[in-house]
Amino acid sequence: MLHESFVKLFWQNFTSAPEAAAWFHVRPVTVKRWLSGEIDVNPMAEKLLIIRARGYLPDDTRWTGFKIDEHYCVIVTPDGRRFSPRELMSWSLRFDEYHALKRMYELDYIPARSNVVTPLPFRGGRRIKDIQSDTVTKEKKKAYRKARAKRASRLP
C-alpha cells in the first residue's frame, strides 16, 4: 500500500494517533512515524487497517456492502438495516416457532429445495418418473392420524 493511501485510509477510520495506537497495539510515537513517512508502515498494520475499513468481513463478493459497526456492535446491510447479535441469534428460534405453528394449524408443507440437485429415489429397482408433491394435505394428515390411532388401539 502506498504511503498516501495508508494516511487517507487511516484518517477515515481513526480520529487520533493514540486511538489508533491502542487499536494496533503499538505506541503513539510509532503511529506518528508511520503517518509522517519516517519509517515504513508495518505490513500487518496495513492489513489490519484494510480489515477495519472493510468492516471486519471477508473479502468475498457475497459480503460486498456489508459492514460491522464496532461502536454499536451491529452488522449493517448494504441497504442500511442493522442487526444486533441477539437479533441474529433469535432468527433460528423464530424459524422453529413459525414451523411449529404451521404444523399445529395443519398448514404444514415441505418446501421444495431448489438449490439442491439430487437424483430421484429408487423404488423397487426402478426410478420414480415424477417427483411427488411436497405438499401434505389436511385429508392426508387426517388419514395418517386415523391409521396411527388404529395401530395404537391394537397394541396392548
User: Residue 75 pairs with which residues in a beta bridge?
Assistant: 68, 83
Give Cα separations from 86 to 29, 56, 91, 93 (angstroms): 39, 19, 9, 11
Express as a percent the part of the chain with pLDDT over 90. Answer: 22
Dist CA 67 CA 78 (whole Å): 8
Asked if the model's pLDDT at residue 71 lies above 90, the reply is no
Instruction: Specify the amino acid at residue 74.
Output: V
pLDDT tens digits for 5-45? 889 989 988 999 999 999 899 999 999 999 999 999 988 89
Q: ∠150-144-155 over CA atoms, to 5°?
A: 25
